[in-house]
Structure 1
């Protein structure tokens, strides 16, 4: 068997701290980096597509950036057309005279099924779990024994005093297989989109483009001043670039890893001293780990109407859902949030909780429809995190209080006391 490796990039669009890629490079005498072009998004059961063009553009930027990084190291990215992935990869292996496919392991059922179809087609596939801060081997328990609430999960990690592994440098890349030639021209950069000056994540600006280069620059800038130290106090802000980290879009596409952020927190601790801001950021990285491992534990249960509760399906109020999507609920705070989401593809964590609660409890809507609307719009859509948060608010996930119903008037008084956010998003 040839020691050629075909590396399949999915949601890990980076060279640094990519253990699966590093393993493939160490095993191979030749490496073919490949990915699939973003597919035309299918419709959801609620009649809208699963992916907004904003997120597709952000992903294409990351692919172009990845191709650039590979070419700087003597390689290149082969982009395959969306469609029958098993057939396309099988054809490549035949052209190569054999080899093994290496890829990131999947957390959610849909991603896992995608990889299983490759195995079912008889393709040799090795996967590595690498999307989280902690690998399963570093956890003080089996992933199947994950506690059903976050606090015991966090406490067990703290008691065991486990630490994430250090992030890996970019690997030395083996040459392209001699039987194939890379495309002469690099991937084209997607055309820039018009932006909105109100956007908290201004994806139209070069410093907020998709890809690991922009992610690394943002990571460095964010830890270069007092933002990190004050993060716990500012994280519930509603608008602006600096109130939160804005790492999530790059985390979602894998242009930035959780371990790289953790390492930056530790360097900041060493240089500036321990502080609540970076401590809280690490807690939020643990929440992300928790939702990814929860998907691994429960799979399709987390995508059913009853979630972990398993009760009867609730179809919700279609009219209320439409009004919520169109920012016509009549609640000024909720409608402001829905306008921001629709206009920019981003929403603060606080506003995500508020509008989710409003749909479920005030509008009688189906939580799954709300999760799908977020999937459609969010630049930083992460299926495990999005699903975990909606289940939590709806009381069908891991919230020990059985759901979170927010009083929007009190939320407005506390987080938008002067009405600046509502005024900013009063109209598109």
Structure 2
């Protein structure tokens, strides 16, 4: 009898999940698990928790949704907290597992997790499944990927590559093995968030995609993507993509169907363009790996000195620069921030406040519900001039950005006024 463990990582879905599909096809019994890393509860070197409340709440919702779907198929999701090696080693013995199946994640900490499991003699079978394009379909070896995105895009487009076809959703899961709960700590993830705009899970992701395409919002994507207020100014796919509640290939396939029905246009092209950027940051890891995570990035220049007081002002939205403060307060209040403002506030920390880019990247990791290890690192390196772009860093003129994107002041009033009112209410309650 073949007993397998399926370890969910950043792929909390049943649709277009090749690793899960393969595990289901090969197993007589299958144990689906999710493991919480205690390191996520520890403070970072910058003085704040690595995973904030908004991320925890979105993850909790996504896991609950996955559990419901698995139970509907006669299976379940078992959550554990503790050292990954200890947890999986104990589970492997308890169920007499032949192997562990999981998604491949090509970032240093995630690679090390797999290496540690393999060092115990545990067979780990990984599947790359987070990109829109298949690595083997690219017109070059991943170790020779162009260092400039434009060159990468042009080669991909010349080869007529759009997306890899998603695989069918899992509709049957092998029965659970007969087992006794091992002596590892089960999870009790409790998270509260005031976030209202996004609900985690594959079901919510599907509903969001459906309404987005039904309302023909792709047509106006390019014109609206840099707006700052509302749910419709950009696709908002990223929260569900970040945890794998939906795959990039599923979105690309739906976009292709949309173009077949309504016609391609500038908006639909730019949606594909942004998904390609997402792929690019992923594929760069196959070329540069851990070098992308050095304190200098790919450059030879040391990072700026960390100024705790200035950094606290930036995080809390108390720099005195209206657009920056409004953006940082939106981030801390909701766990979300537009891509335009992510670049602007990153630039402000690096070039106006002469702050350490690594601290900024860590703050985004803590706060963003759509935190993605590849995109977060790639974007911060890009702004800081420590990535592959030969043009160096990208400094934004805050006055120009304010005039271009919030000339009427509505965004600043929305977040600065709300924050001030929240503080006053809290003081009154005290």
Question: What is the TM-score normalised by the length of structure 1?
Answer: 0.92
User: 394-403 or 354-363, which moves further after superposition?
Assistant: 394-403
Alignment-derived partner of residue 94 in structure 2: 95
1:238-268 deviations in Å (ceiling 9; x for gaps): 1111101111011001101000110111011
User: 300-309 or 369-378, which moves further after superposition?
Assistant: 300-309
In structure 2, runs of 5+ residues without a counterpart are: 420-430
- Across the two proteins, how many residue pairs are aligned to each other? 413
Report 1:384-395 matches (<5 A): 384-395=374-385
1:366 aligns with 2:365: no
Alignment-derived partner of residue 15 in structure 1: 14
User: 320-329 or 362-371, which moves further after superposition?
Assistant: 320-329
1:299-320 deviations in Å (ceiling 9; x for gaps): 2211122211132343243332
Report 1:239-254 matches (<5 A): 239-254=229-244
User: 2:270 is paired with a residue of what secondary structure?
Assistant: helix
Alignment-derived partner of residue 104 in structure 1: 103
The offset of 1:194, in angstroms, is 6.0
1:318 aligns with 2:313: no
The offset of 1:181, in angstroms, is 7.7
Question: Following the alignment from structure 2 to structure 1, what is the Cα–Cα distance between the partners of residues 327 and 157?
Answer: 36
Report 1:208-227 matches (<5 A): 208-227=198-217
User: 2:102 is paired with a residue of what secondary structure?
Assistant: strand
Answer yes or no: is the 8 Å Cα contact 2:292–2:377 preserved in 1: yes
Answer yes or no: is the 8 Å Cα contact 2:281–2:378 preserved in 1: yes
Question: Following the alignment from structure 1 to structure 2, what is the Cα–Cα distance between the partners of residues 38 and 249?
Answer: 20
Answer yes or no: is the 8 Å Cα contact 1:41–1:51 preserved in 2: yes
In structure 1, runs of 5+ residues without a counterpart are: 196-202
TM-aligned CA distance change 1:402 to 1:76, over 3 Å: same
Alignment-derived partner of residue 262 in structure 1: 252
Alignment-derived partner of residue 289 in structure 2: 299
Question: What is the TM-score normalised by the length of structure 2?
Answer: 0.92
Question: Following the alignment from structure 1 to structure 2, what is the Cα–Cα distance between the partners of residues 415 and 398?
Answer: 28
Q: Which structure has the highest helix share of the two?
A: 2
User: 397-406 or 379-388, which moves further after superposition?
Assistant: 397-406
The offset of 1:331, in angstroms, is 0.9
TM-aligned CA distance change 1:313 to 1:38, over 3 Å: closer
Question: Following the alignment from structure 1 to structure 2, what is the Cα–Cα distance between the partners of residues 27 and 9?
Answer: 17
Question: Following the alignment from structure 2 to structure 1, what is the Cα–Cα distance between the partners of residues 407 and 70?
Answer: 49
Question: Following the alignment from structure 1 to structure 2, what is the Cα–Cα distance between the partners of residues 419 and 307?
Answer: 36
Answer yes or no: is the 8 Å Cα contact 1:318–1:365 preserved in 2: no
User: 2:100 is paired with a residue of what secondary structure?
Assistant: strand
1:59 aligns with 2:48: no
Alignment-derived partner of residue 397 in structure 2: 407
Alignment-derived partner of residue 113 in structure 2: 114
1:1-35 deviations in Å (ceiling 9; x for gaps): x4222110011000100011111111122211111
Answer yes or no: is the 8 Å Cα contact 1:34–1:78 preserved in 2: yes
Alignment-derived partner of residue 350 in structure 1: 340
Alignment-derived partner of residue 31 in structure 1: 30
TM-aligned CA distance change 1:3 to 1:191, over 3 Å: closer
Alignment-derived partner of residue 159 in structure 1: 158
User: 1:218 is paired with a residue of what secondary structure?
Assistant: helix
Answer yes or no: is the 8 Å Cα contact 2:131–2:248 preserved in 1: yes
Alignment-derived partner of residue 229 in structure 1: 219
